[in-house]
Every structure is written in C-alpha cells, then in structure tokens.
Amino acid sequence: MPRPARRRAAVVGTGAIVSGSHLSALRAHAERTELVAAVDVDQGRLDAFRELAGGQVAGYTSVDEMLDAVRPDLVLIGTPPSLHREQTVAALKAGAWVLCEKPLTLSLAEYDEIAAAEEASGAYASVIFQHRYGSGAAHARELIASGELGAPRVAHCQTTWHRDAAYYAVPWRGTWASEGGGPTMGHGIHQYDLLLYLLGPWAEIRAMAARLVHDTESEDVSTALVRFENGALATVVNSVLSPDEVSRIRIDCADATVELTHLYGHRNEDWTYTPAPHVAADRVDAWRTPAADVPSSHTAQLGALLDAYDNGVRPPGSGADARATLEFAAALYKSAFTGKPVHAGEIAPGDPFYPAMHGDHPHWAPKERA
C-alpha cells in the first residue's frame, strides 16, 4: 500500500507550547508532516520561531492571510483560549484539519459553532488532551472496558498544582473572556478528561468552587462529586493553591485498584495495579505489562490524528467525545454556582451556562472594567 503524502502543516501562535511541544511533535512525525507556515501577531517572536524551526517556514501575522496563501492540510493552534473558536472555524472553512490546545472553546455554544463548521467543511477539529494517548492510559482503558478489573466502583481525580501571583499577572489569565474559567478549565481539565476516557460517560455532578487566594474573576479551586453512567462514584479536585504539586487518578474496581501518579505527563511506570485478595497472580502479571512504553505527549496525539487523516475518519479528541469533557466543565460550574446537582445533557440553548461558563451568575460574572 503506498505511503500517504506528507501533510502540509501550519502553526498558529509561536509561544512556548508551540515552540516546545508542537514543534517537537511535528519533528517526530517528519516523515508524515511538513511544517510550511507559522502565524504570530508578534513579528519578533515569529522570526525567532522560524529560525528555531529551520527550513523554509513562511511567516504571517494574519491567520486568514496564511490560510489563503498556503492552504495547509493541518493547522496546529497554540494561542490564548479566547482566540481558539475563531481561528479553528477559519481553518475548517479553508478545508484544514485542526489540532488545538485546550480548551477548544470557552463555552458549549462556541463548541457547537465548531461542530457546524466541521459539518459544512468535512474537516475535523481535535483538542489537545494528550494524557489520553500514552500507552499506560490505553492499557488501563482496555482493562477497565473489557471487565478484566471488575466493575468500577470508586474513583478519585486530583489536579493539585500551584500558581502564584506572577502567573496571573499575564493579562489574559484569570478572566472569563480570555480563559473561560480557572483551574477547572485550564488545569484540571486534562485529568478529568482522562478520567472520562477511562470510565466512560458521566451522569450527574454536585460541585463547589471558590476564590481563596487569587484576585481573579474565575475560581482558583473547585471540587466535585460525580456519578457515572456505570454507577461508579468519583471525587474531582482542581486546584492552583497546592504547594505539593501532583496529578493523580485512582479507580477502585471489584478486582483491582488502578492508580496513576504524575505531574504533567506519564509513562507506563507511573501506573500501578493493586489486586484484590481473591485475584490470582497470573492475572496481575498481564495487567502490568503493556506492549510498548509510549509517554503521554503531543507527539502521541499528533500520530493518532495523522492515522485518522490517512484513513479519512474522525480523529480521537473531537466531536461528541471532546464535547463531553467541555460539558463536564460547564456542569461543574453550574452546580458550584447554583448549589444544585446537574445532569448530563441538561445544559442546552437557553440555559445561561450554555453561552458562558459563569452562567452570568451575580457572584461570578465578569467584573466591570473601569
């Protein structure tokens, strides 16, 4: 079977996440991709990136100008969150597939605009949830989904990180209009997306949120109790107030506990399986030995997207699957701000939490600017 042509890729935004993670992912897949263009409104940063990238990478300060001139197959977006919807829709309309940093949009309403653009163009937009793509995560999901570990019963999902005042001094951080939320949207979303990947659809959320330290519009900590469709109950904690930083998922099933402990990425060695007393040793050995050791990374997710592109199918991390994670965030905010449980599917057009994560709540809506 002939090898598919190399995909012509462009990056939008040339800051740290693109010059680091996205560029290294493109280089790792150099046999399948060719970086042909970069876009940044900062000419100095753009020039520095083009030098770093090497080769003949064209530079542009306008997304539309780049799309018209280059017509790329794939656009990788690493700009601030408030720009994601507009840039993603523009790329889709130009016929390009998109791989965009999280959150893909700031609301469910914006997400549905992207879904409409996908439908009209036939191209797809995928959001970066790279923690799904390590071999350890794929192995754990297969074990849970197959029933090998027994029925899931109890889970804990923890993103306890630390961000200081200097972090929030960056103008686009800490506001609803620029980020769409606090650690629920910008930090913990990676971990609870992985939890959803492992456990499947969620059914109900009861949550709390607070501003305990930082002078931001959005929260700096949130907690949630979650019921999954399979009956499992979970706790979710999203914090930027925690000196001892850790990212952790633990799932207690009938036959085993599976636990992942890491910070910003995982390998096979970060996953542990503890059998229940009644489980035979030969079963345990199979749990602990994935066929390969693929770290969770942008590189792994880009590979999965390129596989989908080559096969003409919807890529992972897109469509209804990715929307479910954004809906989880919206439901967490709605429950936290209203004090009421929220069920999957209830946030629809007409609900105040559909167009904005703050739901125009009087205590949480955007502050008036002088």
* Tens of pLDDT, residues 274-322: 999 999 988 998 898 888 999 999 999 999 999 999 999 999 999 999 9
d(CA 131, CA 301): 9
Secondary structure of residue 73 in the 3-state scheme: coil
309-363 confidence digits (pLDDT tens): 999 999 999 999 999 999 999 999 999 999 999 999 999 999 999 999 999 999 9
Neighbours of 65 (CB within 10 A): 12
Nearest-10 crossing angle of helices 84-93, 108-121: 10
Question: At residue 370, does pLDDT exceed 60?
Answer: no
- 301-322 exposure pattern, b = at least 16 Cβ within 10 A, e = fewer: bbbbbbebbeeeeebbbbbebb
**pLDDT tier for residue 5 given thresholds of 50, 70 and 90:** confident
In the chain the beta strands, taken as DSSP E runs, fall at 7-12, 33-39, 58-60, 74-77, 97-100, 125-127, 152-162, 202-210, 221-228, 233-239, 241-253, 256-262, 271-275, 342-343
> In this structure, are residues 144 and 255 in contact, taking their beta carbons and an 8 Å threshold?
no
Residue type, 294: V
124 backbone φψ class: left, alpha, beta (φ>0; ψ -120 to 50): beta
345 backbone φψ class: left, alpha, beta (φ>0; ψ -120 to 50): left
Burial of 286 (0-12, 13-18, 19+ CB in 10 A): exposed
d(CA 339, CA 341): 7
6-42 confidence digits (pLDDT tens): 999 999 999 999 999 999 999 999 999 999 999 999 9
Residues 6+ apart with CB under 8 A from 370: none
Beta-bridged to residue 209, according to DSSP, are 222
Residues 6+ apart with CB under 8 A from 151: 230, 231, 232, 253, 254
d(CA 171, CA 341): 33
> In this structure, are residues 87 and 11 in contact, taking their beta carbons and an 8 Å threshold?
no
> In this structure, are residues 184 and 285 in contact, taking their beta carbons and an 8 Å threshold?
no
Question: At residue 368, does pLDDT exceed 90?
Answer: no
Residue predicted with more confidence, 171 or 261: 261
Whole-model pTM: value is 0.96
- pLDDT recorded at residue 363: 93
> In this structure, are residues 174 and 310 in contact, taking their beta carbons and an 8 Å threshold?
no
d(CA 80, CA 342): 29
Average pLDDT, the chain: 96
**Nearest-5° angle of CA 60, CA 64, CA 68?**
90
